[in-house]
Every structure is written in C-alpha cells, then in structure tokens.
Amino acid sequence: MNLKNLLFEDKKFPLFLAPMEGVTDPPFRFLCKKFGANVMYTEFISSEGLIRNAEKSVRKLKFDNFERPIGIQIFGHNVESMKQAALIAEEQNPDMIDINCGCPVKKVVSKGCGSALLQDIEKLQKMVAEVVKVVKIPVTVKTRLGWDMNSIVIEELVERLQDVGVQIVTIHARTRNQMYSGEADWSYIGKVKNNSRIKIPIIGNGDIDSVEKALECKNKYEVDGIMIGRATIGHPWIFDEIKCKVENKNFVKPDVKELIMQHLEMEKNYKNEHYAVVSLRKHYKNYFKNIPDIKNFRQTLMDAETIEAVKSILDNYNEI
C-alpha cells in the first residue's frame, strides 16, 4: 500500500493527532477523529513489552476501525526485538507502523531508545531498514532535529530513512536536549522540505496551538501535513477549527459539558471509573479556558472521585 495515496491525495492537507503516552488512548482518539483529525497513532509501545506480552503494551495495540488511517507506534533499540514487535503490531492490521526516534524522556533514552537513536544515525537507519523489510505495511518514523544544537542531523537522517523505504517522516522541531523547552524551530523543517533529494511527505510538529499558527506553519514551511499534540488536550475540536478556517466555514464550538460526560463514559468503558475520572483531570484546564473566575470550579472538578460527582458539579455550573 502506498501511504501517499491513502493520506495525501484527496485529503489535501492532513491533520495528525500526535501520539501522547497517557493521553491519546482510544477514547481520546475517538473524540479527535470526530472533530476532524485525519491521521493518528497509538501511544508508543515498548518493543520489549510487546514481545513479553506485557498487558500494558498489548492493550495499547487496540484501535477501532473508525480511527483509520492509524499507525501503531513502537519504540526500542534492539533490531531483533523491533522486528518481532513490528510483526506483532502488524497482526492488528494497522495502516502503518511508526518508529519512535524522538522520545526525550530519561527512562527511555537511558536504554538507548527514542531520541538516543539520534546519536548514531547509521545504526538507526539499519534498524529501521530491517523493520521495513520484515513487515508488509508502510513504515513511518517520528523524530526530532538531533541530539543537541551541535548535532542537528535531520536532513541527513530523512535522506537515509527515505533510502531504506520509510514512507513518511514526522519532525518535532526540537533537539533531544531541549526536551520541551524554548520554541520549536520550524526553519529546520523548512530546510528538509527544500532539500531536492527528499521526496517523501514531511509532517511538521511542535508548538501548534492555534488555528493561526497551524496555517502559518502550513504556508511558510510547505509541509505535507501538521501534527498537533499538547494543544489537543482539553481542546480536541482544534482540528475542526482549523478545517473550518481553511474551508471558510463557520466553526461551532461543541457543548463542553456534554463532551466531558461522553469522554468520561468512554474512558470508563475502556478501563474503569477511577481511570476515567483521573484521565479527565489532564483536560479540565483547557476544557475551561479563558473563563473569568474559573479556578475554584476547576479545582472542584479535579477533586471529584466519581463520574456522578463530576456530573453533579457540571450540572450545577451555569456560567457556560
């Protein structure tokens, strides 16, 4: 299958939901899809965990057909484990396998995974090449600019990945050492797009938090799509807002209270009530943003322990 046909031909400019561990579980992906996200990935899954059949890893493989096109994202550093994990992921019949080469978190990097791979891109290329060879479905890569500002490798890396058959590269325009600090520097993504050797689609990622920023990055850097992460938390309708702007349509904000109840129910069905209530706490800040004197109300939601309690707090709040 050619991803270019699947993702880029009739959908002119796909919007990707960024994979986010602990956030982009199936219920949240459902909401983002409903609000116009075109492409998404599972949360990252440890290749070693998959091979061991660890419950946490196996659970993350699951997705619904409604979410398609979807990629299963795996991480690791051992070639054999990555090949095996990719084959396990392929059995779920996703549209693609994505390899995480960008996670900056210490626990991941210290094992040689995620953005640690950027310290030796020849080795990274070999590992990815083996995964491409072993699976029948497209392989994509999500990565950062390099390990630090003195070792920006992104152009060479994308060339190498293209050479071994990777079909899309998503670039988070920061180095590993930056973690999430400072600002993403999209000019490096622009350089990749201007490199005449690079023909595969490039998805830009980093700090898109508004319709204006999305359109600015789309137009200025001519990426083939954009990926949005943190700005979707408590704001999954951002995709719809962007689409309405591009298509010159009127955007209607959803009913936030209804959305929260739907989100809670789905999280409960996915795992259990406690998980649902705790999961939603990440979202309240943005679900109720730019509203005067909202702090105390938000705190009561944060303190709620049951779905019934959340419902009662929402029912008694009439300011929105």
**Minimum Å distance from CB 92 to ligand FMN?**
17
Nearer to ligand FMN, 224 or 297 (CB): 224
Quick one: which of 96, 101, 228 has its CA closest to 168? 96
For ligand FMN, the binding residues in 86-125 under the rule CB under 6 A are 100, 102-103
Q: How far is CA 91 from CA 11, 64, 84, 96, 262, in A?
A: 27, 14, 11, 11, 30
Candidates 32, 101, 103, 217; catalytic one: 103
Binding mask 164-193 for ligand FMN (x = CB under 6 A): --------x---------------------
Contact track, ligand FMN, 250-289, x by CB under 6 A: ----------------------------------------
CB of 22 vs ligand FMN, minimal distance in Å: 6
Which residue of the chain is nearest ligand FMN when measured via CB? 229
For residues 47 and 68, the answer to whether their CB atoms sit within 8 Å is no
Q: Among residues 182 and 303, whose Cβ is nearest to ligand FMN?
A: 182
142 binds ligand FMN (CB under 6 A): yes
DSSP readout, 64-107?
A: -GGG-SEEEEEE-S-HHHHHHHHHHHHTT--SEEEEEE----HH
Burial of 31-50, coded b for 16+ CB within 10 Å and e otherwise, reads bbbbbbbbbbbbbbbbbbbb
103 included as an active-site residue: yes
Contacts with ligand FMN: how many residues (CB under 6 A)? 22
Neighbours of 26 (CB within 10 A): 21
Q: Give the separation between CA 33 and CA 249, rounded to whole angstroms.
A: 19
Task: Give the number of C-alpha atoms closer than 13 A to the C-alpha of residue 259, restricted to the C-beta side.
Answer: 21
- Asked whether 81 and 56 are in contact (CB, 8 A), the reply is no
Among the listed residues 18, 157, 158, 280, the single contact to ligand FMN using CB under 6 A: 18
Identify the residue among 71, 146, 206, 236 touching ligand FMN (CB under 6 A).
206
What's the CA gap between 270 and 237, in Å, rounded?
21
Determine the interface stretch with ligand FMN among 15-23, 80-88, 262-270, 273-281 (rule: CB under 6 A).
15-23
The residue from 28, 33, 43, 118 that contacts ligand FMN (CB under 6 A) is 43
Helix (H) or strand (E) holding 205: strand 202-205
Tell which positions 285-314 bind ligand FMN, by CB under 6 A.
Answer: none
Q: Which of 44, 147, 188, 237 binds ligand FMN (CB under 6 A)?
A: 44
Shortest Å, Cβ 95 to ligand FMN: 17
Choosing from 15, 223, 228, 242, the residue that interacts with ligand FMN (CB under 6 A) is: 228
Give me the half-sphere count of Cα atoms (radius 13 Å) on the Cβ side of residue 45: 31
CB nearer ligand FMN, residue 116 or residue 307:
116
Check if the beta carbon of residue 161 is closer than 8 Å to that of residue 133: no
- The rounded Cα 208 to chain-centroid distance in angstroms is 12
- As a whole number of angstroms, the distance between CA 296 and CA 61 comes to 38
Q: Which is nearer to ligand FMN, 166 or 208 (CB)?
A: 208
Q: What are the catalytic residues?
A: 103
The footprint of ligand FMN (CB under 6 A) covers 18-23, 43-44, 73, 100, 102-103, 142, 172, 205-208, 228-231
